[in-house]
Structure 1
Amino acid sequence: MSDSEDDYMSDKLLQTCQEDVRPGLVFNRTTKRKHELEKKKKELQAKKPKNSREREEELRQNALNTAISDDNKGFKLLTKMGFKPGEGLGKAKTGITEPIKIEVRNSKSGIGMENHFKEKIKKKVELKTQDLAKTLDEFQKSNKMKQMQRYLYKDFVTAQRACEDLDTRKEINEPVQEFFWTRETIKKKRGIEDEDEEEEFNEEFNSYCSDENLFQVINYLRETHLYCMFCAFVATDEDDLKMNCPGPSRSDHDDG
């Protein structure tokens, strides 16, 4: 043997074999081991004695899946009446060809009680669904109401400022009604400085913010100043206002 050739029993060759632990080989061994464990587990479960309920279920299923033998008295009677295996029942042979399957109920309650419970659960689900729908509807209505209140306050303040500005330009020194002008101006006119008086005044002025009062201010702006706060323009005359303004309300100016 030449020195260039490795001895098959040499330490060098044995070390190479030990280091040859490729991922594929490890994976195959792991898979094989796992398969063997699963197989052993199934074998142990098969050998494990079944409890009484499992034995009863197995016997029941075997009995239900076993066709009635030719020796059965009932079967003999059916054949005498013209029945043949595989045919449907009835004169036209269109009836069922398999026995009605037995449904085994594990519940200890009677059939009537079980139906009662099902109906009760169904009603609970329906009521819960109705409550959710009602809550959602109320939530949407509440949000819509809040949005309308915000628009009302915004429009009311805008109308007051426009009215005060246009009245002042025409040298009208007093508002037709106090709520036609802004809160700050009316507060100065009354000379309110005390905190208690200011709080009472604010409550009073807040109460003015209503659809009815807003309409009064808007109507005054259109009739006296030919002004539309939504279009933000002053018309030359009534015909110009009617021709170029869709109406006195916010909804008249909404797109679509």
Structure 2
Amino acid sequence: MGNSDEEDDYMSMFIAEPTKPQQETSIQRRARKEREAEIRGRVKSKAEKQADEAAAREAALAKSLDSSNKGFKMMEKLGFKPGDTLGATKHARAEPIHLVIKEDRGGIGLDTEKKRKFREQVEHEAKRVKADEGEYRERIRLEREEKRREGQILNAQKVAERLDNEAKDVAVLGEVSNTEPEAQGKSSDTQRASEPSQSINVLWRGLVRRRLEKERERRMRYDLTQSLSRLPTYEDPDEDENYRLALGKENKWSSLEEELEEEDPELDEFNGLPSDQRLGRLVLYMRDTHHYCFWCKYQYPDGSMDGCPGTTEDDHD
């Protein structure tokens, strides 16, 4: 049995009476009426009127026609039923055409024309960007191919020069076979060193000239280094050449300078050819003259060159 003090005494509980709505005073009523009159009497702005008109128009357009509408009755007589589509095809229109209200001074169809031109411009720009990307890739590919072919030309020039020098050495050694062994080894080198660049085959003449230019630069740097370590000496420009030769003052590199300064139209014409033509001429020269295939990297014993698949790089793939 529980404690009586802890039990709720429902008889002594206070129940509040419901509050009555407070009656509006005369001052409050007058202020409310003034606010309502001000709202009713305020003239709406042009923007507000246009917004109200647009809202009312959209509400009217969104509302379906009822059976009492004359237009709806005419459509029913033509066979239309509520919920059906207009037309006999599969893709017949199920909703009415959306009404677009013109609010500017542009002529009919102007917006459509602007959209069409804008769409064409966007498509043209996309095609141009795609074409530029394709041209860029093609240009990079051609540049890499040209660089690779120039390297092949350099290697072919070195091989052609070596083959030609070896053939000349064999001929020279045959002529001096009765001389001393040391003279046999020096004769071919001396002959090549004294040979003017104009007499070198144009196919690798550019290689020889570039080699001479590097040699000239090396000698100029060497002479400059040596001159800094010695006292300057006076050189008379009117001094006799024989006298300068007797004193050991001759210019050792004058012939090299003159040779490099000379114009070479034949070499310029060869260098002006496309890289594939220059490489092709080198390959054919080595095949016809030395029976050597640049792509096989092999010198055949005779001109038939049995076993060589062809004259181009693609033939050797």
With the shorter chain as reference, the TM-score category is: 0.5 to 0.7
Query: 2:297, 2:279 → 1: CA distance?
Result: 16
Could you tell me which residue of structure 2 aligns to residue 21 of structure 1? none
Judged with a 3 Å threshold, the aligned counterparts in structure 2 of structure 1 residues 217 and 153 are, in CA distance, closer, same or farther, namely same
Residues 178 and 77 (structure 1), Cα distance of their counterparts in 2 relative to 1, 3 Å cut: closer
Contact 2:209 2:260 in 1 (8 A): no
Deviation at 1:165, TM superposition (A): 0.9
Q: Distance in 1 between matches of 2:100 and 2:263?
A: 78
Counterpart residue number, 1:230: 295
User: What is the aligned counterpart of 1:167 among 155, 160, 164?
Assistant: 164
Q: Deviations over 1:115-150 (max 9, x none)?
A: 221222233224323433443343344334323432
Counterpart check, 1:59 vs 2:122 = no
Tell me if structure 1 keeps the 8 A contact 2:309–2:315. yes
**Structure 2: how far apart are the matches of 1:229 and 1:117?**
63
Given that residues 183 and 205 in structure 1 are in contact (C-alpha distance below 8 angstroms), is that contact kept between their aligned partners in structure 2? no
With the length of structure 2 as denominator, give the TM-score of the two structures.
Answer: 0.49
Residue number in structure 1 paired with 2:115 = 118
Residue in structure 2 matched with residue 248 of structure 1 by the alignment: 311
In structure 2, C-alpha distance between the alignment counterparts of 1:109 and 1:222, rounded to whole Å: 77
1:99 and 1:232, CA in 2 relative to 1: closer, same or farther beyond 3 A? closer
Residue matched to 1:18: none
The Cα offsets for residues 143-170 of structure 1, whole Å up to 9 and x where unpaired, read as 3432343233222221211111112222
Tell whether the 8 Å contact from 1:161 to 1:181 is kept in structure 2 after alignment.
no
Secondary structure in 1 matching 2:168: coil
| 1:1-256 equivalence runs, <5 A | 51-76=48-73, 81=77, 86=82, 88=84, 98-105=95-102, 108-171=105-168, 177-181=201-205, 183-184=207-208, 191-193=255-257, 198=260, 205=267, 207-209=269-271, 210=273, 211-239=276-304, 241-243=305-307, 245-253=308-316, 255=317
How far apart are the structure 2 equivalents of 1:70 and 1:187? 102
**What number of residue pairs does the alignment pair up?**
199
| Mapped contact 2:160–2:286 kept (Cα < 8 A) | yes
Greater relative CO, 1 or 2 (CA 8 Å, sep 6+): 2
Question: Which is greater in Rg?
Answer: 2
Long gaps (5+) in structure 1: 1-48
Secondary structure of the structure 2 residue equivalent to 1:127: helix
Identity fraction in percent: 24
The secondary structure found in structure 1 opposite 2:256 is coil
